[in-house]
Amino acid sequence: MKTKLLNILLICLTPFWLQASDIKPLSPGSYHLIIEGFDWGPAVNKIVIGLDEVTNQVNASQFEVFVKRSSKLGEIPENQTSGKRPIVYAYPSDEKGNRVAEGNHATLVLAVSPVDPLGSAIQYLRMGNRSSNTWIDYAVTVVDARSGATWTEEAGRTRPIVDDFDLNGKFTHEDITLPFASFSPKNLSKKAPLIIWLHGGGEGGSDPTIALMGNKAFNYASPEIQMLFGEGAHVLVPQAPTFWMQATDGMTRGQTEDIYHKALFALIEDYVSKNPQVDPSRIYVGGCSNGGYMSLKLIFEHPNYFAAGYISALAYHNEFVTDDMVKSIKNVPIWFVHSKDDGVTKPDQTVVPFYNRLMAAGAKNVHFTFYDHVTDITGFYGGEDYHYNGHWSWIYSHANLARTDLDGSPVMLDGRPVTIMEWMAAQRTK
At residue 22, the pLDDT reads 54
For residue 15, list its beta bridge partners. none
Task: For residue 242, count other CB atoms closer than 10 A to its CB.
Answer: 17
Residue 182 has pLDDT above 90, yes or no: yes
Q: Return the closest-CA partner of residue 374 out of 83, 35, 114.
A: 114
Domains delineated in the chain: 5-158 (2.60.40.2180), 162-425 (3.40.50.1820)
Burial class (CB in 10 A: 0-12, 13-18, 19+), 327: middle
Q: Which amino acid is at 379?
A: G
At residue 42, the pLDDT reads 85
Distance of CA 200 to the CA centre of its chain: 9
Measure the CA angle with vertex 276, ends 270 and 280; round to 5°. 75
Q: For a pLDDT cut of 90, what percent of the chain falls above it?
A: 86
Q: Could you give the 3-state DSSP secondary structure of residue 340?
A: coil
Q: Taking residues 346-371, what's their average pLDDT?
A: 98
- What's the pTM? 0.92
| Residues 243 and 210 sit within 8 Å (Cβ to Cβ) | no
**How long, in residues, is the chain?**
430
At residue 131, the pLDDT reads 80
At residue 95, the pLDDT reads 94
- Write out pLDDT tens, residues 54-96: 999 999 999 999 999 999 888 899 999 999 999 999 999 999 9
- Give the strands of the sheet with 82-85, arranged side by side: 82-85, 63-70, 137-144, 150-151
Q: Return the closest-CA partner of residue 163 out of 212, 203, 122.
A: 212
Which residues, other chains included, contact 324 with Cβ-Cβ below 8 Å and sequence gap of 6+?
Answer: none
Residue 281 has pLDDT above 90, yes or no: yes
At residue 18, the pLDDT reads 38
Which residues, other chains included, contact 55 with Cβ-Cβ below 8 Å and sequence gap of 6+?
Answer: 92, 102, 103, 104, 106
